[in-house]
Every structure is written in structure tokens, then in C-alpha cells.
Amino acid sequence: MTYMKRFTTGRKCSKIVALLVIVFGIELIIHSNAFSGFVLNIATGRGITVQSHTRTQSSGFGNETPVQRNGVVLSNSSFGTSIVNQSLSAAKLIQQGLHRSVDAGNQTGHSNGFPAMKNTINVFNSTEEKNAIKQTVVMDRCVRFFSKRNDSVICVYRPHEDVWVSWEILKTGAWELDLLNMTRDFYLTEPNMQLLDVGCNIGVFTLTAAILGHNVVALDANKVNLRMLSMSLTLNDLHDKVTLVWNAVSDVYEEVELGFRTNHVAGTFVRPVIDRARTPTVSTIKIDDLIPAFKGRPALIKMDIEGFEVKALNGAWKFFKEVDVRYVVFEYERHKGKESGKQIQKFFTSFGFLPYHAPRYWEAFDLNNDLNWKDTMIWIKRN
């Protein structure tokens, strides 16, 4: 009897030791740098589970009570599936995407009707950029993206690199969700509408339109953003819907340099070249140059280029005359109460556009008082 008690007690102790080993192992994985980013996804309810190459939706969008671990906000949700297996699955998926991107050749750079005589338009080519894409995209930073498709993913920056867009996507699965829902309304009413995404960043608006089946020209001055977006397109099988263009937009053809803000990739801006040797530069085009890609179809424009909007519009007069532009989602914050705001208003009203609230696009703004306008608003063509 005593022997049996000792045997039973020993088995219980063994189970407790085994459980402690498992818990300690999980803690090591959570604290390791290699898996910290993906653990953040799982903890906020947005981990990507890959089984037989199929991405399935996790439990939700992180409404659990948050806790702190190593200074990073996590949640108390249960992990459910193996952290190691999820991370390896995500890495495998991205590697497959890279190979598919290489095999696709120039799919990311299809001509989309651009005139061959103009060499100013730098269409992004995934084949030429394959090594840079591999170095840029972090394995555990392609996360589930809130969209009509539950298996959509988007590649983002580390939180300390982009405390606004990427960090918000990591926390909630979306960025400016109210505006994305607004654009969905427009796409539903115009099945043939195309998007011109000026200042596409990592592609939130681009992916939303492409997932809904609409063609997109996505333009950005920061080539790293286009590498990130290129991988997102590969993972979502959307290269045939999107043309990526590596240029800044202006009213003149010139070289400009990039200006960077700490921890804020989305705030990258362009300015006249100060130090060509030390600062990345990019050539400008006019929005007018993009007419061949949009003629014959209604267009929606999203423009967020960090204060360069007036010069962009000054190079778009012909585009607005020849293309059926219906809506322009516009970053107006830097122009409130300024001369640049008056120039912007004059441009749009001359083409029959009126300013409206975004996302409540049925609420018109007062043209005589732009100080009360939303930082991001929308111009809608009325006649």
C-alpha cells in the first residue's frame, strides 16, 4: 500500500515537472526575439494559421484585457495552436511568395497602358528587386488584414519603425477602417472604378481595392514601401490587379530627396535635393502622365503625400479633364487656413467637386471655413 502511494505521488510529481517544463519552454519562445512579433499577432487574436497552404481566421481582433510583457502590450487570450508551428508556417508562406514573385517575372511591373516613349515612369519590377524584397520583408510581420476576404494578409514594419500605420495594423488588423469602409461603398456603386493611390505607403487602400476586384495604380516615392507592398500582393495573389510605380508626383520633372521622420515611415516626405550623396533621391512625374492607365473608366484617387499636394495637383489638370474622376480621398491637415488650402479648393471646385466629411460622405463642408474640415476629407464630383 505504501509502495502504491509513493508510486502515485511520483506520477503526480512527474506530471507537475513536465507541465512546468512546457510552461517554461513557452515563456522562452515568447521572450525570444525571433518569435516576439508573431506572438504579438497571436496575442491580439490575429495570428495566421497555415494548414495545407490555407490561411484561416483566428479568434478575433483582440478585445481581451491587455497585459504587459517586456514593455510590449499583449493580451490574455489563449494561444490555441503552437506558437512555433505558426511562426514556421508564416515563414514558409512568405518564402513561397518570394519564389512565386520571382517566377511571375514582370507581373508587378506590367505596363498597364503606360506610354513607352516616357522613361520618367519607374514601374516597379519584382524580378529586379527580389533580393531587396527578401532583405526588407521581416518573416513574422505579414499579418492578417481586415478585408472582405478572411485570409488577406499585409506586410508591415516593426512597431518602433512605424508607430502609426504598422503599429495600428498589428493592434487592430486595420488602418483608417472607417475610410476603407467608405471606399468600399464607392466600389460597390461603380464596379469598373479604378484606384490611383498616390502615396500608397504599405498599401492599405491598394489592397482593399484589389481584393474587391478593382485595378489599382499605386505610387510611392519610398521604394521600401513598394517592396513591402509587392510581397503583400504576392501573398494575396493580386499582382494582376496592381501596378506599382516608384516616383514622386509634382508639376515639374526633377529629382527630389526623401525626408524621414523618426519612428514614422508613413510620414516620409520629399523635398529639393540637399545632399545627393547621403540621402535617397527619386524622380518626379506628373499625374497627367498616368492618363493612359485610366481613360475610359471612372476613377477614385487617394492622395496623402505629406504636404506636397499642391504641386501634385498642379501637374494633374489634364488628368482631371480627360479622366472621369469621381472621388478624391485627400489629406488636408497641413492646408487648413493657409494659402495652399485656397489653391486646393480652387482646383477641385473648378472641376465641379465639393468637400465632404470622411467617412460621413453625405455631410458637406462649408467652403468658407476649412478650419473645421477633417484632417482627411473627401472631394466628390457633383456636376
pLDDT tens sequence across 91-102: 333 334 333 333
> For residues 57, 62, 68 and 70, what is the CA-based torsion angle, rounded to 10 degrees?
30
302 within a domain of the structure (yes/no): yes
Q: Check whether residue 20 and residue 168 sit in a common domain.
A: no
Phi and psi (nearest 5°) for 28?
Answer: -60, -40
In this structure, the answer to whether residues 100 and 159 fall within a common structural domain is: yes
| pLDDT of 281 strictly over 80 | yes
Based on the fold, state whether residues 27 and 114 are members of the same structural domain: no
Report if residue 325 sits inside a domain: yes
Do 133 and 172 share a domain, yes or no? yes
Domain boundary among 331, 351, 366: 331
Q: Confidence band (pLDDT; 50, 70, 90) for 19?
A: low
Is the pLDDT score of 248 beyond 50? yes
Structural domain that includes position 327 = 94-331
Q: Is 308 in the same domain as 183? A: yes
> Both 284 and 194 in a single domain?
yes
168 and 76 housed in the same domain: no
**354 within some domain:** no
Q: Bigger pLDDT: 66 or 344? A: 344
- Is residue 343 in some structural domain? no
Residue 288: predicted pLDDT:
96
Q: Does any domain span residue 201?
A: yes
Average pLDDT over the chain, rounded to whole?
74
Beta-strand relationship, 242-246 and 216-220? parallel
Exposure pattern of 55-69 as b/e (b: 16+ CB <10 Å)?
Answer: beebeeebeeeeeee
Kindly indicate the confidence band of residue 205, based on its pLDDT and cuts at 50, 70 and 90: very high
- Model confidence at 261, pLDDT cuts 50, 70, 90, reads low
Let me know whether 194 and 283 are in one domain: yes
Half-sphere exposure at residue 141, Cβ-oriented, CA atoms within 13 angstroms: 23
Residue 78, pLDDT above cutoff 70: no
Last residue of a domain, one of 59, 83, 107: 83
288 or 265, greater pLDDT? 288
Res. 345 pLDDT band, cuts 50 70 90: very high
Asked if 283 contacts 120 with a C-beta cutoff of 8 angstroms, the reply is: yes
β pairing state of 248-249 and 281-285: parallel
Is residue 358 situated within a structural domain?
A: no
- Chain centroid to Cα 112, Å, comes to 21
Asked which of 43, 60, 83 is the last residue of a domain, the reply is 83
Do 160 and 44 lie in one domain? The reply is no
| pTM as predicted | 0.70
In a domain, 195, yes or no: yes
Whether residues 196 and 316 share a domain: the answer is yes
Average pLDDT over residues 225-229: 95
Residue 61 has pLDDT above 90, yes or no: no
Q: Is residue 350 part of a domain?
A: no
- What is the number of domains present in the chain? 2
Contacts of 195 (CB under 8 A, 6+ apart): 183, 205, 206, 209, 214, 215, 216, 217, 218, 299, 300, 301, 302
- If asked whether residues 78 and 119 sit together in one domain, one would say no
211 and 133 in a single domain? The answer is: yes
At residue 274, the pLDDT reads 83
- Strongest mean pLDDT among 162-166, 295-299, 305-309: 295-299
CATH number of domain containing 323 = 3.40.50.150
First to last CA, the chain: 95
